[in-house]
Amino acid sequence: MKKIIFICLILSLAAVMTGCTTDKPAILFNKYPITGKNIYDYSTSFPVGARIYYLVFMPKKIESRYLYIQIIKKDNDYGQFGYKLIQTYNIRLKDEEKNYYTDYFVLNEGGYYFMRVYSKDNPHKVFASAEFYVKK
């Protein structure tokens, strides 16, 4: 009886301790157009008026092929709990963009920003999120 309990305990501990983690969607920012050579040179601080290149990486293919992107500024000067919606994009992924999307945008105000990406498959859940700074 003790052997059976011991074996069950070992199996349950092995199942818990060796659990696999799945890849999660991510957003990378860069000062230069993102290529395979500079993908690891990401940055989170940019000057005002500069192009901010970004890459949305999706390890799993989304079914609807549509992304919603929001750029939000965090500042206490605004009445909406300190958040101001700066830009929004509705994007349809092309056939060659199964696992990624890359583009750029320009911000002309300094401050703390964050980007949120939603999928049309589940538009109420944040698909990926990242934060960055624009220096004055």
pLDDT of residue 15: 62
Task: Please name which of 112, 109, 91 lies closest in space to residue 100, comparing C-alpha atoms.
Answer: 91
As assigned by CATH, the class of the 22-135 domain is mainly beta
- pTM greater than 0.85: no
| 26-30 vs 45-47, strand pairing mode | unpaired
DSSP string, 91-127: EEPPTT-SSEEEEEEE--S-EEEEEEEEETTEEEEEE
Query: Which residue has 């999307």 as its token pair?
Result: 101
For the chain, domain boundaries: 22-135
Mean pLDDT over 103-107 rounds to 94
Contact (Cβ atoms closer than 8 angstroms) between residue 68 and residue 93: no
Q: pLDDT tens-digit profile of 16-58?
A: 666 566 678 889 999 999 888 888 888 999 999 999 999 998 8
Structure confidence at residue 1 (pLDDT): 74
Helix (H) or strand (E) holding 82: none
Segment 43-98, tens digit of pLDDT = 999 999 999 999 998 887 777 788 999 999 988 766 567 888 999 989 988 887 77
